[in-house]
Amino acid sequence: MAATTRITVTLPTEQVAELKKLTDNVSGYVAEAVARQIRHQLLGEELRRYEEEHGAFTDDELAAAHAKIFGSAGSENAATAA
């Protein structure tokens, strides 16, 4: 098990109420959300670095990535969705 650190987080009361409806493990839920956000930000930074070095992604590259991630169904709309 990974080491943990106890912190205090302040959230709006309404969010806490909804959170408690979703899970009995608030700490685990929040930890997963934070991990997902960190991955999202790191991926965004990596994509920006790639584009700085290699240029913007083409519509074909975006469509291929969308198909790889979400499956080939509907990949013709990937460029407009991205």
Predicted TM-score (pTM) of this structure = 0.69
Amino acid of residue 74: G
Please report, for the chain, how many H helices and E strands are present, in that order.
4, 0
Number of domains into which the chain is organized:
1
Whether 10 is covered by a domain: the verdict is no
Whether 47 is covered by a domain: the verdict is yes
**Domain membership of residue 71 as a residue range:** 25-81
Whether 63 is covered by a domain: the verdict is yes
Burial class (CB in 10 A: 0-12, 13-18, 19+), 49: exposed
Do 78 and 62 contact (CB within 8 A), yes or no? Answer: yes
Tens place of pLDDT per residue across the chain (82 aa): 789 999 999 999 999 999 999 999 999 999 999 999 999 999 999 999 999 999 999 999 999 999 999 997 654 554 555 4
Whether 2 is covered by a domain: the verdict is no
Q: How far apart are CA 43 and CA 23, in angstroms?
A: 28
